[in-house]
Amino acid sequence: MSATEENWQTLRTTIRERTKFMLNNNLFSDVKFVVRKTVGDSSSKKVILAHKLVLSIGSPVFEAMFYGELAETTDSIELPDCEYESLLELFRYMYSDEVNLSESNVMGVLYLAKKYMVPSLVDKCTEYLQNHLDPSNVFSVLPLALKSETKNLVDRCWQVIDQQTKDAIKPGNGFMAIERSLLEAVVVRDTLNIKEVDLFCAVDLWAKMECGRQGLTTDGKTKRKVLGEQIIKAIRFPTMEQVDFAAVALDSKILTTKEIVSVIQHINSVSNCPVEFPDIKRSGFMGDIQRCCRFGCVTASRSWNYGSSKDCINFSTDKDVMLRGVGLFGSEKNSYWVKLEIKNAENKSVLASKVGWFSSEILHGKRGQYYGFEVILDTVLLLKQYTTYSIEALITGPDSLGGGSGFKSVECSGVTVTFMNSKYSGNGTSIGRGQFHELLFSI
């Protein structure tokens, strides 16, 4: 950096401004970091100047590095696991509480924020990724989200994959480069929204590319080996149309003759013998998610608060539907811990549940924009017509929005949902007001 300007302190009225001025500045610097900077195909080393005290008051990892029992004695530290741009943004945040996130650096900044234990920056990276997540980048984001154990981001990634599966697995969107363990996690999901033949085409292409990466031939036997039996047995071949099975599955040469015969017999209903593959279509392929909104208005910000009591509501439908999840109200830039349970209202048996932290974001509903979040069930739940179910949620977090002018019955895509008060609702939710603004289901 150029020579320090004269009387620089007098021109900056706050400690934040003065500390920000020292970012990557040789003024009082007592440590430097050597990192790589990549531009296109070329890579070079660059130096970032820093101050041990500033880094240590923002990170327990840096505190241990510089002032612990095994403190670094050198004033030059090489970091081979990060890029110049990402480390500079980490330091910018530690010096000024500001960060310039972009598509090119956010993954690296998130990695460093986790590594050096800067949780507030982790939150900012997670929020950025959630706001910019789409099918084109979800398989680039998900592996790091899993590695960094950023649960809210992981959940949001799976939601994008479930709802926009066909777009997410297109070549060029990162799917072909994922690890085999993640491929298996995708293929076993019941909630994927895709035709089975399209999913298998993507899996077969992944196998071909993996054979190439390992320097192997791409015959059917080798592809099956790199995929593994768990992935093969998770493909729902019996749910394919016979013409698709013949044109795609047979052409891949992955299946054995015995498996081919059993699938064809099953498709043509000429055998009662159990087939070796799942024979029920994925619930996500049953149709678009329907949103049943039960309120006529959204109340003012922070009108709903939480204690140790549950919010509950009972409901029934006049047709069989598949429940995918529940929409809950939140408030701006806040997170909520939720324990959600779907029960049979008569015998109180728990049919599905979901527990975790959820970040509120802007949602677009029939009543306009509002802050909230969706709790998506891990397994889609079949709701039988005219059976009364109960939604119960213990919510911990800041005050949130709430619903008002609730409807007793709502018609949505040909399904009538009837709501009933629950005697277990200790936090005030009822037909007319409170939580559970939407039911998410497939017909």
Express each pLDDT in 108-152 by its tens digit.
999 999 999 999 999 999 999 988 899 999 999 999 889 888 888
Structural domains in the chain (count): 3
Is 158 among the domain residues? no
C-alpha distances out from residue 61 to 50, 65, 67, 118, 203, Å: 15, 6, 10, 9, 41
Is 357 among the domain residues? yes
Cα–Cα distance measured from residue 133 to residue 141, given in angstroms and rounded to the nearest whole number: 8
Query: Looking at residues 309-315, what average pLDDT do you find?
Result: 96
**Are 42 and 189 members of one domain?**
no
**Are 331 and 421 members of one domain?**
yes
Residue 75 is part of a domain; what is its CATH number?
Answer: 3.30.710.10
Is 251 among the domain residues? yes
Query: Looking at residues 277-291, what average pLDDT do you find?
Result: 72
Specify the pLDDT at position 286. Answer: 45
Cα–Cα distance measured from residue 189 to residue 291, given in angstroms and rounded to the nearest whole number: 22
Tokens 């071949």 belong to 237
Is 76 among the domain residues? yes
Judged against a pLDDT cut of 60, whether residue 296 lies above it is answered with yes
**Are 72 and 88 members of one domain?**
yes
Specify the pLDDT at position 354. Answer: 92
Backbone φ/ψ region at 117: left (φ over 0), alpha (ψ -120 to 50), beta: left
DSSP letter assigned to residue 239: G
Least confident of 241-250, 279-288, 298-307, 336-345: 279-288
For residues 43 and 316, which has the higher predicted lDDT (pLDDT)? 316
Taking only the tens place, the pLDDT of each residue in 149-178 is 888 899 889 989 988 899 999 998 899 999
**Are 271 and 314 members of one domain?**
no
Specify the pLDDT at position 1. Answer: 42
**Are 23 and 88 members of one domain?**
yes
**Are 265 and 297 members of one domain?**
no
Tokens 């811990």 belong to 337
Query: Looking at residues 370-384, what average pLDDT do you find?
Result: 86
Query: Looking at residues 250-279, what average pLDDT do you find?
Result: 87
Average pLDDT, the chain: 90
| Helix, strand, coil fractions of the chain, as percent rounded to 5 | 35, 25, 35
Query: Looking at residues 170-199, what average pLDDT do you find?
Result: 93
**Are 220 and 195 members of one domain?**
yes
Cα–Cα distance measured from residue 247 to residue 112, given in angstroms and rounded to the nearest whole number: 47
Specify the pLDDT at position 285. Answer: 46
Least confident of 20-34, 291-305, 396-410: 291-305
Taking only the tens place, the pLDDT of each residue in 73-99 is 888 999 999 999 999 999 999 999 999
Least confident of 239-248, 301-310, 402-411: 301-310
Cα–Cα distance measured from residue 427 to residue 393, given in angstroms and rounded to the nearest whole number: 10
Cα–Cα distance measured from residue 371 to residue 257, given in angstroms and rounded to the nearest whole number: 54
Residues 6+ apart with CB under 8 A from 14: none
Judged against a pLDDT cut of 60, whether residue 297 lies above it is answered with yes
Is 112 among the domain residues? no
DSSP letter assigned to residue 293: E
Specify the pLDDT at position 366. Answer: 64
Judged against a pLDDT cut of 50, whether residue 402 lies above it is answered with yes
**Are 350 and 435 members of one domain?**
yes
Specify the pLDDT at position 365. Answer: 67
Residue among 279, 276, 278 nearest 255 (CA): 276
Query: Looking at residues 252-263, what average pLDDT do you find?
Result: 93
Q: Which of 44, 76, 102 is the last residue of a domain?
A: 102
Query: Looking at residues 47-71, what average pLDDT do you find?
Result: 93
pLDDT category at 274 given cuts 50, 70, 90 is confident
**Are 277 and 291 members of one domain?**
no
Is 2 among the domain residues? no
> Can you give the three-state secondary structure of 90-107, one letter per residue?
HHHHHHHCCCCCCCCCHH
Specify the pLDDT at position 288. Answer: 63
**Are 227 and 359 members of one domain?**
no
Is 131 among the domain residues? no
pTM for this prediction? 0.60
**Are 247 and 319 members of one domain?**
no
Q: Which of 283, 305, 334 is the last residue of a domain?
A: 283
Q: What angle do CA 376, 382, 385 make, to 5 degrees?
A: 125
For residues 129 and 4, which has the higher predicted lDDT (pLDDT)? 129
pLDDT category at 266 given cuts 50, 70, 90 is confident
**Are 241 and 324 members of one domain?**
no
Residue 18: domain span: 8-102
pLDDT category at 284 given cuts 50, 70, 90 is low
Residues 6+ apart with CB under 8 A from 125: 101, 106, 109, 110, 113
Is 129 among the domain residues? no
Q: Which of 102, 120, 137 is the last residue of a domain?
A: 102
